[in-house]
A = this chain, B = another copy of it.
Amino acid sequence: MLSEFLLSEMNRLGANDALPLHRQLYEALRRAMLDGKLGAGERLPSSRDLAQDLQLSRNTVVAAINQLSVEGYLASRVGSGTYVNDSVPRISPGRNGQRTAGWASAVPPGRLSARGLALTSRFCATDLEVQPFTPGIADFSAFPLTLWQRLQNKHWRMTYPDMLDYNTSGGYAPLRRAIADYLRVFRSVHLEADQVIVTTGTQQSLELCARLLADHGDTVWVEDPAYWGAAKAFMASGLAIHPVPVDDQGICPDMGDDTYPPKLIYVTPSHQYPTGAVMSLPRRHQLLANARRHGAWVLEDDYDSEYRFSGPPISSLEGLDTDGRVLYMGTFSKVMYPGLKLGYLVVPKTLVDAFKQAHYDLNRPGQMPVQAALAEFIEMGHFASALRRARQNYAERRQCLLEALKPVLSDARVGPSISGAEQGLHLCLRLPAHTDDKALAQRIAQQGLTVRALSAYCLQRSDLKGLVIGYGYAPLADIRRCGPLLAAAVQRELDAAAA
């Protein structure tokens, strides 16, 4: 009986985890399909019946079913109900930990352009299952949804036709002011509100810069290892990517090859992605001097500056810039939620008009009621409160992860170390150069944990090995439970290497 299977699965899940009910049901239904208890093409009981059988609220059932529909497991046919999709992969028990969707690797060769092939063949962000320790992911379950919904509502009620149109002025003016106030105070960015362009996030910010400030074939210096999303944006815009090594003081601008003079230099100075290195002050001056010498623009991606846990606060690189060659960008996805799709780009005054115009012509910005709600969310202090709560949450998780990793660090034979734990939502566990970190990450994945190999972020160099470990996504209980598993897996690797 389906409902019996679901109930027992949910009991099992509920015992180990603090998963919400709809998520338990989602997992149970997913398992039923993967195990073949619900076959392809089979009709699901109605949400009403399921709710009754499982003694759950209808909303809970609908949420689980919606999620499975989103993910392609289920399909609704109008007037006839919900069915298991034909394409659901049946997974034999052994493959449990493997990826569910499978499509990322299935991209057929052939009729894409060379650029299209390049864009789809490397650095695919979708092929990781989100599990404890997945880096780059925040936990937005604590986000004050009800309050946010109330604010959105208010601005929808107040909306007037112009707010439903595209926006030509770089964003909703009060939001640009709120962003400018925030950056001025917390990030020591020198700016006026008019220099703020509201974008749909860092990808759009990067592409605007790449297109307006560089030509096809121009060189962009990119940190090695690097944030893949940035590399993709530059590839898509036809730029030649020149990797410049990162050490524990950040990018080494003098190691950039002058035979490939940069038009753009892309950096994450306050928390290098993914090593977590903080760019030192001398290095910052050196970078700016180098940029000046080459007549290059500097793109400063301050992607997780909101979460600083220890060490002195670090001002922006932009704040050191005296000749207006730094473009500064950030995102709301880490404090609000990713699907909000709002970020910002601060451009030098001389570029404001060109960027506004091109942003309109290329992107047709919209979503003004949401921008208005966000402006009020910030102005009324809700952003600061949400940030405070999140920071506290993440601080606890980070501490718990650091505790769990302690035994590994005490292994003096091979000298693993941690970098980048002062800020952000991930840290980097550095491992000896002979470690096969990709294989290690795969072994760890078999335990239902997702970490990324540091070497997977490297563009060119092969000397960096380690694990990039996120503590943003999983709740404290999961980190407490899974941290020792992770540490044990790493320890086994170290022992094997020493043997």
Chain A residues at the B interface, C-beta cutoff of 8 Å: 20, 22-23, 26, 30, 34, 59, 62-63, 66-67, 69-73, 75-76, 78, 85, 87-89, 91, 99-101, 103-104, 106-116, 119-120, 123-126, 137, 140-141, 143, 145, 149, 152-153, 156-169, 172-174, 177, 181, 184-186, 188, 190-194, 200-201, 203-204, 207, 211-216, 218, 228-229, 232-233, 236-238, 263, 295, 297, 312-313, 315, 322-325, 337-341, 348-351, 353-354, 356-358, 360-364, 366-369, 372, 379-381, 384-385, 387-388, 391
Contacts and interface: CB of A to CB of B under 8 A. Distances in A.
Given A190-B99, A323-B107, A63 B158 contact: yes
**Copies of this chain, whole number:** 2
B111 A362 contact: no
A103 B67 contact: no
Given A339-B367, A357-B104, A350 B111 contact: yes
A338 B212 contact: no
A169 B104 CA distance: 10
A387 B71 CA distance: 9
Contacts of A358: 116, 119-120
A67 B163 CA distance: 8
B158 A322 contact: no
Contact of A349 (B89, B107, B380): B107
A71 B353 contact: no
Given A120-B358, A152-B156, A165-B337, 20 more contacts: A63-B158, A63-B160, A67-B385, A71-B185, A73-B185, A89-B188, A91-B184, A101-B168, A101-B169, A104-B349, A109-B350, A111-B351, A113-B213, A113-B218, A115-B211, A119-B361, A124-B357, A126-B356, A164-B337, A232-B361
